[in-house]
Chains A and B, each alone.
Chain A
Amino acid sequence: DAGITQSPRHKVTETGTPVTLRCHQTENHRYMYWYRQDPGHGLRLIHYSYGVKDTDKGEVSDGYSVSRSKTEDFLLTLESATSSQTSVYFCASKQEPSRAQHFGDGTRLSIL
């Protein structure tokens, strides 16, 4: 399996504070993804990256920003966290040519 590490694994914070989640992969995959998982909604794409400094929006990008300064690292930032952003966040990278995505273990984020 691709080595994908997410940090932190759990975080509790307050409304209005900035939050940054980190994703690190060791497989040199070009594509990386951030999803959120909520009951009844499955996984929804927030942002993705197709290379260093190349990112694009997904289905639920409002309130989130991303950055990718190195191939191995993909950061997700909530500029001003809201309670609606309480969720489990997953990072993934895509293997070529199979196009299979490999996932990290997730970050459980609670915003009070």
Chain B
Amino acid sequence: AQSVTQLGSHVSVSEGALVLLRCNYSSSVPPYLFWYVQYPNQGLQLLLKYTTGATLVKGINGFEAEFKKSETSFHLTKPSAHMSDAAEYFCAVIDNYGQNFVFGPGTRLSVLP
């Protein structure tokens, strides 16, 4: 069965610093991978997705992620953190049947002034 691991339930960075949120997955089929962001009292918003093609994926709000098959990873990065990036971030992979998501447990990002 697929699984998604997000290292670090809580990550703190200073404003202007690099953001790195880690995601590792297990999948027996070529993966479709997603990152979502959740602001307080809101639903999940799609940040970016990898389906096929280029392994470096650019998303909204300056975020990007790189699919590394050999490492089964899909880490999310942003060169310079902004206060508005403080939120919870979820990584997800499509399951073996290709229809449903398996979500990671989430990482809460805090941005310090």
B44–A40 CB distance below 8 A:
no
* Chain B residues whose CB sits within 8 angstroms of the CB of A48 once the complex forms: 99-100
Given contacts A31-B99, A99-B94, A100-B49, contact A42 B43 (CB under 8 A): no
A99–B32 CB distance below 8 A:
yes
B46 in the interface (beta carbon within 8 A): yes
A106–B99 CB distance below 8 A:
no
A-B contacts, 6 listed (Cβ < 8 Å): A1-B45, A31-B99, A33-B100, A40-B105, A43-B44, A99-B94
Residues of A within 8 A of B (CB): 1, 4, 31, 33, 40-43, 45, 48, 50, 58, 90, 92, 94, 98-106
A interface secondary structure, majority: strand
| Chain B positions 31-80 with a Cβ under 8 Å from a chain A Cβ | 32, 34, 36, 41-46, 49, 51
Q: Bound state CA distance, A104 and B18, in angstroms?
A: 30
Residue-wise interface mask of B (77-109) relative to A, using a CB-CB cutoff of 8 A (1 in contact, 0 not): 000000000000010001000111101111000
